[in-house]
Amino acid sequence: MKRFVEGESRQQLILFPDQLDDYIAEDNPVRVVDVFVDEMDLLKMGFKVIPADTGRPSYHPATMLKIYIYGYLNRVQSSRRLEHETQRNVELMWLLGRLTPDFKTIADFRKNNTKAIQSVCREFVMICRKLDLFSDAFVAIDGSKFKAVNHRDLNFTRAKLKYRLNLINESIAKYLSQVDSADRQEALVAKVCVERLENKISNLKKEVKRLNKEEILECEQSGIIAFLPKPQTSGNQAKGLFGKRDFIYRHESDTYDCPGGEQVTYRFSREEKGKIIRRYWSSACLSCPIKAQCTTGQYRRISRWEHETVLEVVDARLEQQPDMMKIRKSTVEHPFGTIKYWMGSTHFQMKTLKKVGAEMSLHVLAYNMKRVLKIMGAIPLMKVLTA
């Protein structure tokens, strides 16, 4: 073992520092967690800070919250692993005053305080705002998919809902064909299932409607300058035919100029997924020499949302400032990527949207805290938190 770095003998007598505090450096992030939780009004956040008069004393919500914030900052999200960490991790021993709640207590706290945990995340965002860390009024929006823990029978896609609804409808038909008192009860049960699934479908439809860009219209109407590429929904371009971009809209006449030099005129409107869609085509299609490049049907039909001008405006704005998409990427994609990396292969520990919301808040809080620690450092941040 000569010429290698050698460890000490396990039998070597050593003098530990007099205080646990000596193990924790002045700028250790665990001190920020401690100060942040201690300075917060937990009652206002929605935690139960008044102990019950009877029964075994419970852990203070501050203790439990510290465990979670520390855990999420250090990529330990599971309650069982957090329990182990409280028993062997010096930083956690310091943070909790050597308290070691069991995993069930740790898990129950996260499960029972979903709203309050979300408020804590919001509180940290408010602190960041006070610190002027959001100096630019630039909001980048993106979507991301996170793996959830859910039984396959309890997660629904539109196709799956449709399939299951058909199955249930078939079952109902079968039940109703056997009209006697015993079967009637089962039919009622199935009917309840259908209603429940129909509700889900209707909620999904509402969500689709909500996502179909009305939000962009609202942005424009309320003076928010949005940058967004116009969605290309037509499949013609993929088939090698002229795309919608090859048709130039003329506001004055409410017509399109087609690649064949003809005028594509308005024909009728109809509602699709809650939106008024205007339909256009040209009578010249029938004798058009370049029809093969344009459509496989009789006429090339163009659909236009009644508020499509808004999409054209935001699209044109983006073309003038193409760097906006790069800024959006660097602003919003980094947090999602980092949070997913920290989450590991299994993203969420809990089930149901409400509980997952609390978990996501803890991840976001940990991400924000790490960013602020990186920007400001632990000691200045603690000074701000205690000011």
- Positions touching ligand SF4 (CB under 6 A) are 258-260, 262, 264, 282, 284-285, 288, 290-291, 294-295, 300
User: Which is nearer to ligand SF4, 169 or 298 (by Cβ)?
Assistant: 298
Least separation in angstroms between CB 313 and ligand SF4: 25
User: Which is nearer to ligand SF4, 294 or 366 (by Cβ)?
Assistant: 294
User: Which is nearer to ligand SF4, 262 or 308 (by Cβ)?
Assistant: 262
User: Which is nearer to ligand SF4, 112 or 295 (by Cβ)?
Assistant: 295
Tell me how far CA of residue 232 lies from CA of 190, 244, 273, 337, in angstroms.
41, 8, 17, 26
Joined tokens for residue 234:
């037509």
Q: Give the other-Cβ count within 10 Å of 336's Cβ.
A: 15
Least separation in angstroms between CB 302 and ligand SF4: 8
Q: Give the other-Cβ count within 10 Å of 256's Cβ.
A: 22
CA distance 184 to 218: 49
Whether 324 contacts 242, CB under 8 Å = no
Helices (H), the chain: 29-39, 42-45, 61-73, 79-88, 90-96, 103-112, 114-130, 158-177, 181-211, 214-221, 308-320, 323-328, 334-343, 353-376, 378-386
Least separation in angstroms between CB 248 and ligand SF4: 12
Least separation in angstroms between CB 260 and ligand SF4: 3
User: Which is nearer to ligand SF4, 51 or 297 (by Cβ)?
Assistant: 297
Joined tokens for residue 78:
């599971």
Phi-psi map region of 165: left, alpha, beta (phi>0 left; psi -120 to 50 alpha):
alpha
User: Which is nearer to ligand SF4, 124 or 242 (by Cβ)?
Assistant: 242
Place of tokens 């308290």: 99
CA-wise closest residue to 63 among 117, 122, 106, 111: 106
Q: Report the length, in residues, of the chain.
A: 387
Least separation in angstroms between CB 305 and ligand SF4: 19
Least separation in angstroms between CB 235 and ligand SF4: 16
Least separation in angstroms between CB 263 and ligand SF4: 9
Angle between the 29-39 and 61-73 helix axes, to the nearest 10 degrees? 150
User: Which is nearer to ligand SF4, 46 or 243 (by Cβ)?
Assistant: 243
Place of tokens 């309320």: 222
Least separation in angstroms between CB 253 and ligand SF4: 16
User: Which is nearer to ligand SF4, 76 or 294 (by Cβ)?
Assistant: 294
Q: Give the other-Cβ count within 10 Å of 36's Cβ.
A: 22
